[in-house]
Structure 1
């Protein structure tokens, strides 16, 4: 493994809660952590092309190229559900206007 990360969500076993190691010439060395202005701890992952961030005690993945935090499974499911509900409302409104949404 070129990189190895450990995260302790409760903080009972690791201090700090998020640690990273990267492989150099057969040995693992610590990944330098950055602390952002809002106190978020950030560790870059070259393998993933992302940052692992500890935000208010929660592990998040951040995409620097897109300048956005990746959604958790729960957030993605909620966003998909909201989009489906919006689509259904829009289709119903089109039908009220005598427009067949399937013909568009």
Structure 2
């Protein structure tokens, strides 16, 4: 938990190779997603999250990511209030890339 009560982890709490039982939700805009995202992540921009929440399994452990952690914190807070098993990645894609983690580019 961070100081605001939002479930949060730093980069060391997320495996470099995402295991099958862990979902990564990227809430950035499409141009940010195309520029680089975590391999295997699901892309639902923050502005579409409430309309598309049915695409997510509330019981699946989900790491939420954005550019540096602000939008993903809002998404994590809302999803948590809806009963989802979620955690925010502090530092977001900035932290992921600074740690030298693999990144997919394009719309894949």
Q: Which of the pair is proportionally richer in strand?
A: 1
- What TM-score does the superposition give when structure 2 sets the normalisation length? 0.21
- TM-score (ref. length: structure 1): 0.22
